[in-house]
Amino acid sequence: MSIERRPIEVPSSAGTLRGWWFPADLSSPGPAIVMIHGFSATSTGMIADRYAEAFASTGISALLLDPGGFGRSDGEPRQQINPWKQGRDFLAGISFVAASPDVDASRIAVWGDSMSGRIALVVAAVDDRVAAVAVQVPACGDSLTEPDSSGARFAAIRDTLLHADLEALIGAVEGPLPVVSPDQLSMPSMLKPITAYRWFISYGARYGTGWVNQATRAVLDTPEPFDAQPCMRYIDVPLLMVVAEHDEMPGANADVARAAYELAPDPKVLVEIDGGHFGLLYEEEPAFEMSINAQADFLRRHLGGA
């Protein structure tokens, strides 16, 4: 089955976001999912588009965006990692699809991978327009953070994401550094495992992706850091979390992800896969097929579709 993709432009407060719209073949307004790829990865040719095609084939239209400052999207400075800004990119994408005559605004999901998985979890807790959330190998941290029994940490995160002047809160900028490198001694990079280098060079170096092997990281002086863990118990919509049993990526500890999952209320589904952090991003790996099928089934059950 051939899935149509259309270039799309989404207005946001930081400039025009660009990516792809994968419309489902439906005769009436249907569900949609807003997607942003992981750390610096783009919307073109870096596997997230294969997930979008799978969702559209089951009747769930997919909006796959480059975050601001990356790929084909506007935004300055270029190549700067800032999860707060990417959270607002998700919000802009939700607003865009909710206004579409082809979308049932009560059936909008969000999707993220690795770093954007962490961001999607926070967005799902903060934005009551989200009807479901699916994340894979989410970067929920290397260790458990302080419990939030009073809800004060979550309230601070929500207020910062929705209302803060993010530019005024930038306290430092780390880098620039390569995103990945084959040799941490001679050329340190932001993502250090050799598996990260192998995947980004295999897929990011494809012609036309727009991926750049360099980034900076904004460090913001916020009341609370950008942390999904305090947000988990406020995700009151169906949650799917795909976790790599032996995730080698710093910041994406599998035990921490499982603990975060336990904090979320039902309904929820945990899927464990083999292949490490990047196995589900290789088309030829069994983890890819397992992950994509589990997510499409989950979304179809909770959002409807074909």
Domain assignment present for residue 256? The answer is yes
Contact of 183 with 177, CB cutoff 8 Å: no
Q: What is the pLDDT of residue 305?
A: 64
Quote the number of domains for the chain.
1
DSSP character for 203? Answer: I
Residue 210, domain member (yes or no)? no
Residue 48 sits in a domain whose CATH number is 3.40.50.1820
- Residue recorded with tokens 């190998």: 137
Q: How confident is the model at residue 306 (pLDDT cuts 50, 70, 90)?
A: low
Work out the percent of the chain whose per-residue pLDDT is above 70: 99
- DSSP conformation class of 252: B
Q: How far apart are the C-alpha atoms of 306 and 56, rounded to whole Å?
A: 9
> Quick one: average pLDDT of 186-209?
97
Q: Is residue 187 part of a domain?
A: no
The predicted structure's pLDDT at residue 1: 57
Does the residue 1 lie in any domain? no
The answer to whether residue 283 sits within a structural domain is: yes
How many other β-carbons are positioned within 10 Å of the β-carbon of residue 171? 10
Phi, psi for residue 218 in degrees, rounded to 5: -85, 130
For 95-120, what is each residue's pLDDT tens digit?
999 999 999 999 999 999 999 999 99
Separation of alpha carbons 29 and 103, rounded Å: 5
Report if residue 139 sits inside a domain. yes
The shares of helix, strand and coil residues in the chain, as percent rounded to the nearest 5, are 35, 25, 45
Please report whether residue 216 resides in a domain: no
**What band does 2 get if pLDDT is binned at 50, 70 and 90?**
confident
Please give the residue that has the higher pLDDT: either 228 or 147: 228
Q: Which residues pair with 286 in a beta bridge?
A: none
Residue-wise pLDDT for 57-105, tens only, equals 999 999 999 999 999 999 999 999 999 999 999 999 999 999 999 999 9
The arrangement of strands across the sheet holding 215-220 comes to 80-81, 215-220, 170-177
Distance CA 74, CA 68 (A): 6
How does the average pLDDT of the chain come out, rounded? 97
pTM over 0.95: yes
pLDDT in tens, 171-184: 999 999 999 999 99
State whether residue 147 is helix, strand or coil.
coil
Is residue 101 in a domain?
yes
Which domain covers residue 232, as residue numbers?
A: 6-166+228-303
